[in-house]
Structures are given as C-alpha cells and as structure tokens.
C-alpha cells in the first residue's frame, strides 16, 4: 500500500484501471478530497507522471502508481482547480500533454434537450468529432449516442487504441457520451470502444456521425474539420429554386464515380473529386444535362455495393478525396450551372461489425425482430423508423448534405422496401402494423417528416423517390396525405417501354399498349423517367444490346427510343454510358468504353443525346406542363398496325406546341397524314434518323404546312414522311 492509496478506494481504482468505470470524470483529473486537491490520472503508457503548472511550467507533484496504469497524488499548497499539464516518463522518453479530464462538458443544455427529445435536426453540430477550441485549448470534441453502453471510449493511434485512456462522459438521460481531447485535429484516425450493458467488449465501432473515414478496406473514422471552406456558389444558390421546379427542364446524368472514367496508366485508378470537378462537370455541361446525379457517396465498406450499403452517412467516401475536395466538386458543378443530386439510402444499412448494427450491444438503430429489422434481399439491417432518435438521425443527415455540402437534391433509394412491411417477405415472415395492415406506418411518417423538414429549411432543393409500386401521393404534399417528395421515378414507364423495345418490330403491334399505358397515370405524380444503372447490370445487358435487329437497327431503335423518352411527359434521367450506346453491360470495376466514340454510330448517339437535351431545354412545351394533363394530347395513340405514336406537347400560354411522332418499325411512312391542332407551318426540329446521328436522312426537312383537313380530332393536318425506326419533333412556326 502506498501513501496515495487512500486517495482512491480499491474498487474504484480497479474499475478505472480495467476501463469499466461508468463515470471516469468523477474520479480522474483534479478533485477536492478532505480539504485537499487530489490529482488522478490513467496513464498506462507511462512509468511516472508529474503534474505541471501550465502557466509557470513548474512541477508541482509526482504522482504515485495506485493500480495498473493509474496514478494519484496530492497537489501541495493548492486548494482550487488550476490549469495544468501532465508530464509522462517512460524509460528515457519524456513528454507533456494536457489532460482530457481537465475539461468540462461541451454540449449545451439546448443540445441535451433536443438530443433527449429526438428533434436535433442539426445533429451533426452536436455529435461526431469537431475540431475547435474548448476552454481556451485547441483539440477535438467527440460525442456519440450509445444509451445502453456501460462505458464508451474514443481510441486511436493517439492513445495506442487503449480504451482505458479516454473513457467518455455520459450526459444524463440522453444516452450521449462526450469527451474533449486536447491537441487532436484534422486527420486523426479514431473509433469507439464500447462495453455493452453487461460489460462485454464490442467490436470497435466507426462514428455514426463521423465526417471522414479511412480508405477502404480500413474502417476507422477520420476527424475532418468542416469549417473554413470558402464557397463561391452564391449566384447558383440564389437561382436554384427557380431551376428545380416542376415546370423547368430537368435532365439528369447519373454517374458512378468509381467507373465513369479511369486512368489506365496509373494502375487503372479512378478519378479524384478534383479530376471529376473538371472532366465530369465539363462533359455533363457539354452534353446539355441540367443535373448530375451520383450513386451514393456516403462512405461504404464494399465497393461492389456501389454505395447502396452505406456505413458512414455523414462522410463523403474517401475513395476520391477529402470532404473539402468533395466540396470543390460541388462548387464546380454550380459554377457550370449544373445541379448535383446524390443518392441517399435511409432504407437499410450493412451488418459490418464496425457499423451501426447492435451499436451499443443492443439493436439501437435497427429493429430487434428480424421480421422487421432484416432485409432478406440484401442481407442488411432495417432502420427502426418508429424510434425518435433514429428518425432524428436520418432527418438530420438529409439536412446535413444540403447545408454542409450545398447538395441540390436527394434521390431516395428503395422507397418501396420502406413502405411495406411484407416487402420481399413470405407469409409469416413479416409483422403487420398496429392496424393489421402491410404498410409501414412509421416509415411513411418518417419520409413525410423528412420532406417537411428539408423543404422548410430550404424550399429551393429537391427530393426524389425511387418508388416502384402504385403507392398514392408519393410527390403529393404531406398536408394532403402525400409523402411530400418533389419527384417520383416512373418505374412502371421504364419497365413497360423497355419490354416493348425488346420486341421484334414485326411483333410490336401486339404490345402497343406498353407504350401508351404510362399516359393513363403520367400526371398523377411529378415523374422522372429513369434509365438508370439498374437497367444495365445483373445480366440485363446494355441499352444497345436490349434492342433487336442488326447493328444498324439496334442503333436506330435506341435513337428512336431516346426521342420517344425526351418527347414524353416527365423529367429525364440517363445513366452514364447510355448516352453513347455503351456496348457492354456496365461493370463497376472498369471504365466506360470511351474508345467506342472513335466509331461513327456511337458518335451519332452521343450527338443525338446532346441535341435532345438542347431541344428540350430550349422548348418550353417539352417541360413546362410535365405534370399537367393539359400539357399533353394524343394525336394518334392507337395506330398499333403501323407501330406509330403521335402526340402534341403544350407549354404555358403563348408557347408554341410541339408535335412528336415515333415510328417503331423499319418501314418509312411516306405521304403520311397526321392531324395537328393549329394552322400554320410546322418545322422539323429534330429527327433521330438524321445522317449526323447515323440514320438514313429520311424525313421532312423543310417541315410541312397545315392543310384545312380535319383528322385525328384536329381541325388541320400535315403531310410528312415518317422515317424508319425514328422519332421526329415538329414545332409550330
């Protein structure tokens, strides 16, 4: 027994030394005991510990070892707390550090109230790792939610990954643990070491609100200072709301950053955020797209998931650079007049042991019952949307991307899997809701609340849902019972029309309704027409390979289909590579086949998509009334025998209407009479069969004058030549 043993009882000393004490701040650091000022320090890496006056640098006391790694001693002639440092000695080495247990809590009363209530919509300001100053000292503040843990420690190289060194302070009933560690800054690698409620040591956990991560396959979080970035996109943000309304042209280029373009000369590496900021942004702008959409950039452990199994929702993946470099990419998009949408995955998360699963030893973020908390399709875990703190975590994350990274939109993945409790489950493998139904009422309430919160914070942004069922009101306001999304992907249109296009032209007349059925519901939601990555993977082939016929016909079919798509009501989305008719199915491990652009048919397809985007953006009739029935009129939607479709698009009052005619057979239709609603000259504005696109140059290049002939319910008609396997746009002069 040493003279210092009376300064701490044996049970407490043993608990501190073993890292099992639930309230180390009540023990470690400076404390008054029996009229004396006592210092206790847990320093297992040291042979000796001294207390140093931080102002004078004078040694005040050498502490005695009272347990394994635990030192204690009385500070002579001192009665009150004072600024101090610790001087450690091990062998011939001596160093000084400030003591984390010298600092009080950093989270304020309002943070604690909102965290406890589960309404802290700027959660990232409280939780995570924040570089900054606390009580006059620079360091990093760590905070994490783990309500059922016996204790939580932050560990890293800075403390030898020893969970006894920096055990965190529990903040009452909130379940939050926090600690300020002096001298740590940007780039510090860390994880959380957690003992569950029974004292069992869990696998080390990454920070759920971490702002950075190690490069996979390493899995630790990295401290990233998000302050200090000088944004230059004020002009864009002031105009963003006007550009993202339902009456505006929105044409989205969907991109998987890892495989858009690679550098074969450098071990086939992917481009960085900064390289994408010039190459990808310049390309998307040149191609006439209005937006880029990225597959999820939230940190994900398995590259083959393409980001759809995220483990770090608050961290842009380190695969392509730092958070500040990602901000530069966003800034570059905005400087080029491009909006940036990112895919967001609140539907599920992976079971990787460093992730959210059983985070504090209990099913904290997920449901305990696998019938509710496990996805059989993806072997992932499902968020417990009915838990207030989990809902708050996700809603705050949505706001985080808008506020910290100036993202312009979120496309929410796999919404159908969230809406229904029996999604991909057999009878007996799912739990009905409180009313006995299959709808996930908690998930519905979460999505409604998320949209309410993000749009209330900034109504210039957009949200879009990938929702593959007929769930009503996905893009309807929440006060009308809808989910509140700005847009919905039209999966039904995509599936029907691609099935039609796969048919041999001689058989298409028997499947005519697949191209027309979408118009029965086209105005029930604010739709985006998606040709996404999901259509060119898993054995589905490329868009070009879906088309029937010989090489010429396959290209012609695809050109005609793109024309049909750009003329159809709904915003547009096209996955990378589809714009130049990538020949092979998409492979996330290699670059797109850019060399195909050495060949005329692929050049022609690329030029067509560029021209379609230009025509679309410059022609209000093609976008202003996408979600309104009075913006569309069939001229002849029933010509199954010829497999010809014709319709008119209308814009706001005073805008010139556009006639769209699609012929999905290889037979040119000459002297073809078609009704039009207006007298005058109808100019041929774009013809997917033009020679510059690889076509036969069949068409009506000079346009046609309306004749005083009633046809197709119209008072006038024009005589045109409809090219084979082509879509033609005419506009009233």
- Supply the residues annotated as catalytic: 413, 466
Q: Please report which helix (H) or strand (E) contains residue 177, including its range.
A: strand 176-182
Query: Three-state SS string across 242-280, please?
Result: HHCCCCCCCEEEEECHHHHCEEHHHCCEECCHHHHHHHH
CA 254 to chain centre: 12
- Whether the Cβ atoms of residue 31 and residue 38 lie closer than 8 Å to each other: yes
* C-beta atoms surrounding 461 within 10 Å: 24
Q: Please report which helix (H) or strand (E) contains residue 443, including its range.
A: helix 441-457
Question: What CA–CA distance (Å, rounded) separates 723 from 662?
Answer: 9
* C-beta atoms surrounding 661 within 10 Å: 26
Question: What CA–CA distance (Å, rounded) separates 325 from 331?
Answer: 10
Q: Which residues of 573-583 are buried (b: 16+ CB within 10 A; e: fewer)?
A: bbbbbbbbbbb
Give the total residue count for the chain: 733
Q: Please report which helix (H) or strand (E) contains residue 400, including its range.
A: helix 388-405
Region of 695 (left: φ > 0; alpha: ψ -120 to 50; beta: rest) is: beta
- Whether the Cβ atoms of residue 724 and residue 556 lie closer than 8 Å to each other: yes
First to last CA, the chain: 101
Question: What CA–CA distance (Å, rounded) separates 519 from 629?
Answer: 9
- Whether the Cβ atoms of residue 662 and residue 726 lie closer than 8 Å to each other: yes
* C-beta atoms surrounding 633 within 10 Å: 18
Between helices 491-502 and 551-567, what is the axis angle to 10°?
150
DSSP character at residue 707: B
- In sequence order, the β-bridge partners of residue 674 are 718
- Whether the Cβ atoms of residue 72 and residue 64 lie closer than 8 Å to each other: yes
594: which 2 tokens? 């850019």
For residue 477, count CB atoms less than 10 angstroms from its CB and return exposed for 0-12, middle for 13-18, buried for 19 or more.
middle
All residues at 6 or more sequence positions from 185 whose CB lies less than 8 Å from its CB, including other chains: 131, 138, 139, 140, 223, 225
For residue 213, count CB atoms less than 10 angstroms from its CB and return exposed for 0-12, middle for 13-18, buried for 19 or more.
buried
- What is the Cβ-side half-sphere exposure of residue 197, based on CA atoms within 13 angstroms? 10
Tell me which residue of 531, 575, 600, 610 sits closest to 259, measured CA to CA: 575
């Amino acid at each position: 027994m040493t003279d210092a043993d009376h300064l701490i009882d044996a049970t407490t000393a043993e608990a501190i030394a073993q890292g099992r004490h639930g309230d180390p701040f009540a023990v470690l650091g400076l404390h008054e005991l029996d009229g004396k000022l006592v210092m206790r320090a847990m320093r297992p890496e040291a042979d000796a510990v001294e207390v140093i006056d931080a102002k004078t640098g004078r040694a005040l006391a050498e502490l005695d070892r009272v347990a394994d790694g635990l030192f204690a001693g009385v500070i002579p002639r001192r009665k009150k707390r004072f600024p101090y440092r610790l001087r450690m000695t091990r062998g011939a080495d001596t160093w000084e550090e400030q003591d984390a247990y010298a600092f009080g809590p950093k989270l304020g009363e309002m943070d604690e109230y909102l965290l406890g209530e589960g309404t802290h919509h700027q959660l990232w300001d409280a939780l995570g790792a924040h570089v900054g100053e606390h009580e006059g000292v620079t360091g990093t503040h760590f905070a994490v939610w783990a309500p059922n843990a016996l204790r939580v420690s932050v560990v890293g190289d800075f403390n030898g990954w020893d969970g006894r060194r920096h055990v965190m302070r529990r903040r009452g009933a909130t379940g939050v643990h926090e600690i300020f560690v002096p001298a740590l800054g940007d780039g510090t690698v860390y994880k959380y070491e957690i003992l569950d409620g029974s004292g069992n040591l869990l696998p080390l956990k990454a920070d759920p609100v971490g702002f950075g991560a190690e490069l996979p396959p390493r899995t630790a979080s990295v401290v990233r200072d998000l302050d200090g970035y000088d944004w230059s996109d004020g002009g864009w943000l002031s105009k963003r709301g006007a550009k993202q309304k339902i009456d505006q042209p929105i044409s989205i280029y969907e991109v998987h950053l890892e495989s858009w373009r690679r550098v074969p000369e450098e071990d086939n590496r992917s481009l960085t955020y900064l390289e994408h900021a010039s190459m990808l942004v310049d390309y998307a702008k040149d191609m006439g797209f209005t937006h880029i959409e990225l597959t999820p950039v939230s940190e994900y452990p398995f590259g083959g998931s393409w980001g759809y199994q995220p483990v770090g929702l608050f961290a842009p993946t380190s695969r392509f650079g730092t958070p500040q470099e990602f901000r530069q990419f966003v800034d570059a998009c905005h400087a080029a007049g491009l909006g940036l949408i990112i895919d967001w995955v609140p539907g599920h998360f992976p079971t990787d042991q460093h992730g959210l699963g059983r985070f504090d030893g209990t099913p904290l973020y997920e449901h305990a019952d696998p019938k509710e908390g496990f996805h059989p399709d993806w072997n992932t875990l499902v968020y417990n949307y009915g838990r207030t703190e989990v809902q708050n975590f996700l809603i705050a994350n949505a706001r985080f991307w808008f506020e910290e990274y100036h993202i312009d939109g979120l496309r929410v993945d796999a919404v159908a899997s969230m809406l229904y409790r029996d999604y991909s489950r057999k009878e007996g493998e799912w739990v009905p809701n409180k009313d006995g139904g299959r709808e996930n009422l908690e998930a519905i309430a979460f999505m409604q609340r998320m949209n309410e919160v993000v749009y209330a914070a900034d109504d210039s942004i957009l949200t879009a849902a990938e929702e593959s069922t007929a769930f009503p009101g996905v893009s309807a306001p929440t006060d009308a019972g809808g989910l509140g999304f700005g847009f919905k992907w039209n999966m039904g249109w995509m599936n029907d029309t691609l099935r039609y296009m796969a048919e041999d032209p001689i058989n298409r007349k028997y499947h005519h309704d697949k191209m027309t059925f979408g118009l029965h519901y086209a105005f029930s939601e604010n739709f985006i027409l998606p040709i996404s990555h999901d259509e060119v993977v898993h054995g589905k082939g490329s868009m070009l390979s879906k088309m029937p016929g010989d090489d010429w016909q396959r290209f012609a079919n695809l050109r005609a289909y793109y024309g049909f798509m750009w003329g159809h009501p709904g915003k547009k989305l096209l996955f990378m590579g589809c714009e130049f008719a990538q020949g092979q199915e998409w492979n996330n491990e290699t670059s797109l086949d850019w060399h195909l652009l050495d060949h005329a048919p692929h050049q022609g397809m690329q030029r067509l998509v560029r021209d379609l985007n230009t025509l679309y953006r410059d022609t209000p009739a093609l976008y202003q009334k996408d979600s309104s029935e009075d913006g569309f009129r069939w001229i002849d939607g029933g010509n199954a025998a010829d497999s010809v479709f014709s319709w008119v698009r209308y814009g706001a009052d005073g805008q010139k209407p556009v006639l769209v005619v699609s012929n999905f057979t290889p037979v040119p239709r000459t002297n073809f009479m078609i009704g039009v609603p207006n007298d005058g000259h109808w100019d041929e504005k774009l013809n997917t069969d033009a020679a510059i696109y690889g076509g036969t140059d069949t068409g009506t290049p000079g346009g046609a004058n309306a004749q005083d002939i009633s046809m197709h319910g119209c008072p006038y008609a024009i005589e045109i030549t409809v090219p084979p396997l082509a879509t033609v746009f005419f506009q009233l002069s």
